[in-house]
Amino acid sequence: MMGYTLPAVLSVPAVVAAELLWLRTGLFRRPGYWISMVIVVAFQVPVDGWLTRLPDPIVGYNPDEMTGLRFPFDIPVEDYLFGFSLVTLTLLCWLRAKKKEEAA
């Protein structure tokens, strides 16, 4: 599998597993989390679309390292996977740190 695609694909189940099996913050049950993800995607689409637009991208990707699937506005689908993982893992770490602080 491609060098950008594989980590993107593996990052999603890794973050979900971290929440469900280890951190157990309850993040996925919070409506605020899902609202925040909608907000993230609402901003990601125009910004990422502008940065990766073809044929004149600001950010380039090695086509041999990804699937080549782009939607919408030429956004590589891998960017959505990484976006989910990065935002979710950040929130999970934040909640975990807050929980430890409250326990102290």
Mean pLDDT of 51-77: 92
Which residue, 15, 1, 12, is CA-closest to 91? 15
Q: What pTM value is reported for the model?
A: 0.89
What are the Cα distances from residue 23, in Å, to 36, 62, 68, 88, 96? 20, 35, 34, 12, 7
Q: Rounded distance, CA 65 to CA 54, Å?
A: 17
pLDDT band at 21 (very low <50, low <70, confident <90, very high): very high
- Is the confidence at residue 1, as pLDDT, over 70? no
Mean pLDDT of 19-28: 97
Mean pLDDT of 52-66: 91
Which residue, 57, 55, 56, 49, is CA-closest to 74? 49
Give percent of the chain with pLDDT exceeding 90: 86
Q: Rounded distance, CA 50 to CA 39, Å?
A: 17
User: Residue 76 forms beta bridges with which residues?
Assistant: 70
